[in-house]
């Protein structure tokens, strides 16, 4: 295929595909922290016009992310500034122009790098999580995935035995029942409990059970 054919025909074709996706697609400049380009799906998904989002790029996320999800802004920034991997994904809430919050799933990939290998431009996609997955169960799974990611270092410190004990504790088993199931002494179960709470920086069994359910460990 000749270049002029590609420019005249294929680019139009790809543009039509992007504009018809049920998703926001955009490119972002890491240095200036400004959007470079975006399709026209902002109003359809978030209620805001393309101009409202792009002209206020610095403040949009800060002002319209759910207060409990603001931490994701820093995590996303740190992820690429530390040059961890080429891809970041997350689930969070954005305030719709009508005033309610909607869950969205975002995936961002490094699009361009400088001569030193540092990310300079990002390519991102944002979809309405509820509409895309059509179930609250899937949203809950995405939320657990996010919590697991935020606590990844803590969870990675747990041994297989400790993970097993966490599941049994969350299931409501007593120390004696756990000891019997695992063929160990009750005192050993208690030692594991103390180690688990210390590793996860938790204070009691109630918080451990809550943590296990939130992260999907149980």
Q: Where are the domains of the chain?
A: 3-135, 153-215
Name the more confident of 3 and 29: 29
* 64 compared with 84, residue with greater pLDDT: 64
93 versus 58: which is more confidently predicted? 93
pLDDT confidence of residue 55: 75
Residue pLDDT, tens place only, 82-116: 766 788 888 888 999 999 998 888 889 998 988 88
Instruction: Tell me the pLDDT tens digit for each residue of 130-159.
Output: 765 555 556 566 666 666 676 777 888 899
The pTM assigned to this predicted structure is: 0.57
Q: How far apart are CA 90 and CA 108, in angstroms?
A: 9
Mean model confidence pLDDT for the chain: 82
pLDDT in tens, 155-179: 888 999 999 999 999 999 999 999 9
Q: Which residue has the higher pLDDT, 183 or 59?
A: 183
The correct CATH number of 3-135 out of 3.40.50.300, 3.30.450.20, 3.20.10.10, 3.10.450.230 is 3.30.450.20
Tell me what pLDDT residue 5 has: 47
Domain 153-215, what fold?
A: Arc Repressor Mutant, subunit A (1.10.10)
Average pLDDT value for residue range 192-211: 90
Percent of the chain's residues with pLDDT above 90 = 30
Q: What is the mean pLDDT of residues 41-50?
A: 88
pLDDT of residue 11: 63
């Amino acid at each position: 295929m000749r270049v002029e054919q590609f420019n005249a025909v294929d680019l139009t074709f790809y543009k039509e595909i992007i504009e018809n996706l049920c998703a926001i697609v955009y490119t972002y400049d890491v240095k200036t922290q400004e959007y470079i380009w975006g399709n026209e799906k902002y109003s359809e998904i978030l209620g805001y016009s393309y101009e409202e989002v792009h002209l206020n790029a610095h403040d949009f996320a800060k002002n319209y992310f759910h207060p409990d999800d603001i931490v994701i802004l820093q995590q996303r920034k740190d992820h690429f500034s530390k040059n961890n991997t080429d891809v970041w994904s997350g689930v969070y809430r954005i305030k719709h122009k009508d005033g309610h919050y909607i869950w969205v799933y975002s995936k961002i990939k490094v699009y361009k790098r400088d001569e030193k290998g540092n990310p300079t431009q990002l390519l991102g996609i944002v979809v309405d999580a509820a509409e895309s997955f059509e179930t609250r169960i899937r949203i809950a799974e995405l939320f657990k995935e996010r919590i697991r990611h935020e606590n990844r270092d803590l969870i990675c410190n747990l041994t297989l035995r400790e993970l097993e004990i966490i599941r049994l504790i969350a299931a409501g088993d007593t120390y004696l029942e756990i000891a019997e199931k695992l063929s160990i002494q009750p005192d050993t179960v208690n030692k594991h409990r103390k180690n688990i709470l210390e590793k996860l920086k938790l204070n009691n069994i109630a918080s451990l059970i809550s943590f296990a359910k939130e992260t999907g460990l149980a």
